[in-house]
Amino acid sequence: MHFVYLLKSLKDGTLYLGCTSSLEKRIIEHNQGKSDFSKKHAPWKLVYSEGYYSKADAFGREQKLKLHAQGLRRLKDRLQHSLNV
């Protein structure tokens, strides 16, 4: 299974969109500061995820959300209450 996920920084509200085959492990890595971007915004909480059987489908969805502002804007609109918590 592959996941597209959205994290929110508990420190400053920054959002991070990613894709992984191991969601729990990847969130732990973000919170441990194992990537340059995520370490300065840690700690993180998961606010959304989508699961895909196909790696290609998951990475395709991630790219669409990252490269097309309207897709990410629509996702944020759907999650407006979750993002404000």
pLDDT category of residue 85 using cuts at 50, 70 and 90: low
pLDDT in tens, 14-56: 999 999 999 999 999 999 998 888 889 999 999 999 999 999 9
Domains of the chain: 2-83 (3.40.1440)
Distance, CA of 56 to CA of 19 (rounded, Å): 11
pTM: 0.91
Tell me how far CA of residue 19 lies from CA of 11, 14, 44, 81, 84, in angstroms.
22, 17, 15, 23, 23
Tokens for 84, please give them: 């404000």
| Angle CA 61–79–82, to nearest 5 | 125
